[in-house]
């Protein structure tokens, strides 16, 4: 079939050529679709480069069943002294990149990360996963932790 523009042929095609082009486009589409997206992370695969966001309740149950875990507080030193979960260690979120490898060298350790409300713990968890940590659990904020906390501040009665 000839297409004309101002009475001049611009493109010649035949049914066979159309079919061939269509099959080529469909083949490329299916090859791209089946190859997978390397930026997508499958959380069902062990050691996938991701962290899990879990509730305080789920974290508490996991902690009760396992004795081998790290509880990581990523808030500031002042916030940590004011109130923290018993047994937590402090590495502020802005120091994770520098300190995590030296202070937590076991990249396969179970690590529960928390902050005040959940934003800093998510960012710290992402940074840890990018460094190769494989069992990182973001438990959100201490404001959602109903199981008791401790304080290092001395308070006096008025």
Structural domains in the chain plus CATH codes: 2-35 (no CATH), 52-144 (3.40.250.10)
32 labelled catalytic: no
The tokens for 14 are: 């035949």
pTM, rounded to two decimals: 0.67
Q: Where are the beta strands (DSSP E) in 6-104?
A: 8-12, 52-53, 70-73, 89-90
Catalytic residue among 56, 72, 111, 115: 115
Please report the sign of the dihedral spanned by the C-alpha atoms of residue 79, residue 111, residue 144, residue 141.
Answer: positive
- Residue 72's nearest CA partner among 123, 107, 124, 119 is 124
Per-residue pLDDT tens digits of the chain, which is 158 residues long: 555 656 666 556 667 766 665 666 556 555 555 444 433 333 444 445 689 999 999 999 999 998 899 999 999 999 999 999 999 999 999 999 999 999 999 999 999 999 999 999 999 999 999 999 999 999 999 999 999 999 987 554 34
């Amino acid at each position: 079939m000839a297409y004309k523009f101002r009475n001049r042929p611009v493109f010649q095609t035949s049914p066979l050529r159309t079919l061939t082009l269509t099959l080529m486009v469909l083949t490329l589409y299916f090859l791209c679709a089946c190859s997978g997206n390397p930026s997508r992370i499958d959380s069902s695969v062990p050691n996938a480069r991701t962290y899990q966001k879990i509730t305080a309740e789920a974290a508490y149950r996991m902690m009760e069943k396992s004795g081998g875990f790290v509880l990581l507080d990523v808030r500031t030193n002042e916030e940590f002294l004011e109130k923290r979960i018993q047994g937590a260690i402090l590495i502020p979120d802005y120091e994770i990149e520098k300190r995590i490898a030296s202070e937590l060298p076991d990249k396969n350790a179970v690590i529960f990360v928390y902050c005040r409300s959940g934003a800093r713990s998510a960012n710290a968890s992402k940074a840890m996963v990018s460094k190769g940590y494989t069992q990182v659990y973001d438990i959100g904020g201490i404001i959602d932790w109903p199981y008791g906390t401790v304080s290092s501040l001395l308070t006096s009665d008025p």
